[in-house]
Amino acid sequence: MYVSTCLYLSRTFAGGMRKVVVYSTQNCPYCRMAKAFLEKHGVTYESVDVGNDAVQAQKMVELSGQRGVPVIGIDSEVIVGFDAQRLNELFGEPLKSESSDVLIIGAGPAGLTAAVYCARKMLSTVIISENIGGQALESWAIENYMGYRMVSGEELMKKFDEQVRKEDIRFVLDRVIALEKKDGLFVAETISENTLKAKTVILAQGNKPRKIGVPKEDEYLGRGLSVCSTCDGPLYRGKKVAIAGGGNSALQTAVEMSGIAKTVDLIVRSDIRADPVYVDRLHEKSNLNVHLQTNITALHGDKFLTGISIETKNGVERDLELDGLFIEIGWLPNTGFLDGFVELNEHKEIVIDINCHTNIEGVFAAGDVTSIKGKQIIIAAGEGAKAALEAHEYLMKQ
């Protein structure tokens, strides 16, 4: 089924109206964010659902060289992924330079919760993030968040976002690349060359996907290799895929993809370490093969991934013919821009005390980017609330 939605919003640019087409899938959170960005800036676009239309999916692949969404065509330019920097360059407006009480870096469960608490304390609050929802967006199903028997990560984060939108909170879609304290204010520089200033900062930028560490990994990203199964899964309907990982996310992805793909191979480096409920579901699938104590040693293909090599701990090697590989082997902290600014532990996580304080006065941190052991949505949300209350107390003492 081909879904075409034209939004009759108008905005004229130099040279006239631009033709904008967004290729997306129904459950892709980054596709929704791309559309929300265009709508916010009054840009007319056509939406094409490539998850339900193989012809349009092939057209997208030929246009972009990518087997992943979103893909955005703007006249003769093609943007792959939700590229906040490029979209800001094309359609954004310069940021105002005034300072705020609180700058929250990251818009996942911790950042969004912190924002609501800050706003309710009547603090002027700015959130800056490349996406809204963080890594929680990529969960197929969440069954341990209070108040919901089962909810997808995208649906839950949409509820968070809706609550935040009701408050007087300013959103900036951008990526922070540097943070310092200057003249009594914290100053954040972004990849889009914007500057944001605040009296206090809450770091809640979460994690980024861990790589498997084999040659050509970056080359095949979006060309058969994916780190977002909820986004790209529908493009592999009836095809052969593999999932790398042995935790909850990997097993969830394997189970969901078994209902979409022809076959699914689960590649686990050691042993399965997921909750029993996911293990039980795994064993119910007849088209799903599990390879324990197995490493991926090579990726094969020309323009697109066509197979992988695997090796067991006993040295047995074999090749698997595949159309797609989904990486679910964990996450790494997004702290590259903080090295030398706040204290990090050996895992590059932000070191905090029980009340979300970093070693820098006025800088707080919450969620999966911190040294807190539990990496759960409900814990991140609670830590975000704590960080906001501590930031408020800090400002009241100034």
Active site residues: 228, 231-232
Distance CA 233, CA 376 (A): 24
- Collapsing DSSP states into helix, strand and coil, what is residue 221? strand
118's CB contacts (< 8 A; 6+ apart) are: 101, 102, 104, 125, 169, 202, 388, 391, 392
Q: Which two tokens stand for residue 224?
A: 């058969």
Q: Residue 253: how many CB atoms within 10 A of its CB?
A: 27
DSSP of 329-357: S-EEE--GGGBTTB-B-TTSPBP--TTSB
Query: Do 307 and 225 meet the contact criterion of CB atoms below 8 Å apart?
Result: no
Distance CA 234, CA 337 (A): 34
Nearest Cα residue to 335 out of 296, 304, 363, 307: 363
